[in-house]
Amino acid sequence: MSYMTPGNPKRRLTGLFMVIIFVVSLFTIRLVDLQIIQAEAINKVSFANRSVTRVIPALRGSILDANGTVLAHTVYRYDINAAPSKVGPILRNVSGQDVQVSVEQVAAELAAILSMKSEEVLQKIIGTTEYSNIKKKVNAEVYRRIKALEIPWLYYDPIPTRVYPNGAVAGNLTGFLGSDSTPLAGLERQFNSCLAGQDGQETFEKGVDGIKIPSSAVITKAAIPGRDIVLTIDSDLQYFAQQVLANTVVKLNAEWASAIVVEAKTGKLLAAAEAPTVDPNDPGKSDAADRGSRIFQAVFEPGSTMKTITAATVVAEKAAEPGSGFKVPYRLTFSFGRDVTDSHVHPTEKLTLSGILADSSNTGIILAGQKVPAETRYKYIRKFGLGEKTGINFEGESAGIVHKPGTALYDLMTDKVTMFGQGISVTPIQTAYIYQPLANDGVRLEPQLVAGCRSADGSLESPARKAPVTVLDPAANKKTVDMLEMVVKYGGIGRTATIPGYRVGGKTGTAQIKNGTGYGYRYAISFIGMAPAENPQYVLAVTVYKPTTISNSLGATPPWRQIMQQVLRNYRVPPSTTTAKEIPKYWH
């Protein structure tokens, strides 16, 4: 049997003291480790747990027409999301009493607002996950109605979304964005560097209740909003032109039609309308072929509207005058065994150069044009802007095709047919700007579609424009315009473009469309003209592609007349007070 003995109290006390010292030392070491050695890392972890970093989205700039009408801007749409793991009945205060609303009932309420089926909503909100999207990008009105239901397990993500308030008005020009806001077409893509802003960033600490902690560090990188693009387009005129073209396409059962209105003295595009076209709010509804801009991208042989360049070249080179006579046969047979005929059978006629244009004679324009060397004619064709992209440099714009004399593709037949618009390809925008210098004393101006990129302070950064080019001297230019007036006065089809009260000059075009190596039975019909002819202010080019009910330019003059009348009314152009200079059609 052993008994506890008191032992040495001093020794025990010393031992206890040593243990206490040891334990305290351990705590001290740990304290130093946490507070000093690991302090920075721990602080980082702690801050990371409390801090919230939020991207401040930069709003994309708007696209405006010449009068400030918004064609494209960015608004918020809202994704409606649920946390299925937290879904349950909700309490709603009805007449001062809390009433429990079942999940099925809530789903039915949501479905009614979101235009969905209750089952569909239920399927999305039942589950164990933390996230389920019910519907994407609902508008602000729907978002507000959903929010008013006060459903605690719903949450909302604001999504910046591009909206085009006027729909397809200028939709071919504005282009559109993809679902991920990537610019896919048109000016949206071409001027993305101007329109896109730079996202900002905000970091702050939040409490348990999600409210920002006072005096918590906030690191903010301010969002820089995108800048606006200002166009030269008049959206009201654009709408009018699109209406007329849409009607024309239906009436003529055509593939497409385009109308381009140019302010002659400035080179500004006032309308660049097409039908069919795209509603950029919903590009998926349009055929892929209608989502671009045929005005800049479609290439076709222009036909007789080219005869104006040939006639102008002949006059400018003093090879003939508007009243100079030519014996014009129905058929011309060349030494290399090929021939060219007019569109209608006729005996040999004594036509003046002006008469050749009025009758749109192929053989006649060849007789006149071959008075000038091929190289000279080519030089004028290039001076009129063909064979190269316009300075607008639109997305996917084509340069057209112009063969140079002396090259392999410029054969003997090309030399002849180029004079009346075959063997050469152009875009609709090029055809309009063939006539712009004629309406501006012979000076060709670079086409302008975008007036500039406008900053928040109102400053406008305009795209560079090439210097004006003198295509014709003023005397030759006037003679050419006089001949165009005679086309409208005496031309079989040209006279259908007459606008009472105004002097009008223009040229018809009925171009066969290439079908493989030859030509098919379908046409591109057009009328390009200017008014008032004594001092032209506006140029309008209308093209209708592959019409079936009317296959000559008789189908193009009615829309031309309607749109030009609207232009003259819109811009308050007073009626003409002088009469056209008479140039005889025939000679004796």
Closest CA to 160 of 55, 89, 36: 55
Alpha-carbon Rg for the chain in angstroms: 37
Segment interacting with another protein (CB under 8 A) among 18-26, 414-422, 443-451, 498-506: 498-506
For residue 242, state whether it binds another protein (rule: CB under 8 A).
yes
Biggest CA pair distance of the chain: 159
From 118, 243, 376, 552, residue interacting with another protein (rule: CB under 8 A):
243
For residue 188, state whether it binds another protein (rule: CB under 8 A).
no
CA distance linking residue 36 with residue 200, whole number of Å: 35
Question: Measured from the CB of residue 63, what is the shortest distance to another protein in angstroms?
Answer: 14
Judged by DSSP in three states, 7 sits in coil
For residue 288, state whether it binds another protein (rule: CB under 8 A).
no
DSSP 316: H
From 113, 138, 185, 275, residue interacting with another protein (rule: CB under 8 A):
275
For residue 54, state whether it binds another protein (rule: CB under 8 A).
no
Instruction: Give the interface size with another protein as a residue count (CB under 8 A).
Output: 43
| b/e 230-265 (16+ beta carbons within 10 angstroms → b) | bbbbbbbbbbbbbbbbbebbeebebbbbbbbbbbbb
CA distance linking residue 68 with residue 166, whole number of Å: 13
Q: Which residue has the tokens 């006032």?
A: 270
Question: Measured from the CB of residue 269, what is the shortest distance to another protein in angstroms?
Answer: 18
CA dihedral 140, 235, 178, 256 (to 10 degrees): 130
CB 166 within 8 A of CB 235: yes
From 119, 282, 339, 473, residue interacting with another protein (rule: CB under 8 A):
282
For residue 485, state whether it binds another protein (rule: CB under 8 A).
no
Residue 292: Cβ within 10 Å count: 21
Nearer to another protein, 163 or 299 (CB): 163
Question: Measured from the CB of residue 481, what is the shortest distance to another protein in angstroms?
Answer: 21
Question: Measured from the CB of residue 405, what is the shortest distance to another protein in angstroms?
Answer: 43
Question: Measured from the CB of residue 572, what is the shortest distance to another protein in angstroms?
Answer: 11
Question: Measured from the CB of residue 284, what is the shortest distance to another protein in angstroms?
Answer: 10
Q: What tokens appear for 386 in the block?
A: 């063909």
CA distance linking residue 182 with residue 395, whole number of Å: 15
Residues 194-213 that bind another protein (CB under 8 A): 211-212
From 14, 133, 139, 253, residue interacting with another protein (rule: CB under 8 A):
139
Closest CA to 174 of 313, 33, 54, 277: 277
Find all residues with CB under 8 Å of 152, minimum gap 6, and list them.
86, 90
Q: Which residue has the tokens 């210098």?
A: 437
For residue 46, state whether it binds another protein (rule: CB under 8 A).
no
CA distance linking residue 187 with residue 357, whole number of Å: 38
Question: Measured from the CB of residue 223, what is the shortest distance to another protein in angstroms?
Answer: 15
Residues 391-450 that bind another protein (CB under 8 A): none
Q: How far is CA 140 from the centre of its chain?
A: 26
For residue 285, state whether it binds another protein (rule: CB under 8 A).
yes
For residue 214, state whether it binds another protein (rule: CB under 8 A).
yes
Q: What angle do CA 430, 65, 528 make, to 5 degrees?
A: 30
For residue 587, state whether it binds another protein (rule: CB under 8 A).
no
Question: Measured from the CB of residue 39, what is the shortest distance to another protein in angstroms?
Answer: 24
Judged by DSSP in three states, 60 sits in coil
Q: Which amino acid is at 427?
A: T
For residue 579, state whether it binds another protein (rule: CB under 8 A).
no
Residues 500-519 that bind another protein (CB under 8 A): 500-502
Question: Measured from the CB of residue 49, what is the shortest distance to another protein in angstroms?
Answer: 20
Question: Measured from the CB of residue 231, what is the shortest distance to another protein in angstroms?
Answer: 15
From 50, 51, 66, 70, residue interacting with another protein (rule: CB under 8 A):
70
For residue 562, state whether it binds another protein (rule: CB under 8 A).
yes
Which residues here bind another protein, judged by CB under 8 A?
Answer: 70, 75-76, 139-141, 143-144, 163-169, 211-212, 214-215, 235-236, 239, 242-244, 246-247, 250, 275, 277, 279, 281-282, 285, 500-502, 558, 562, 565, 569, 574-575
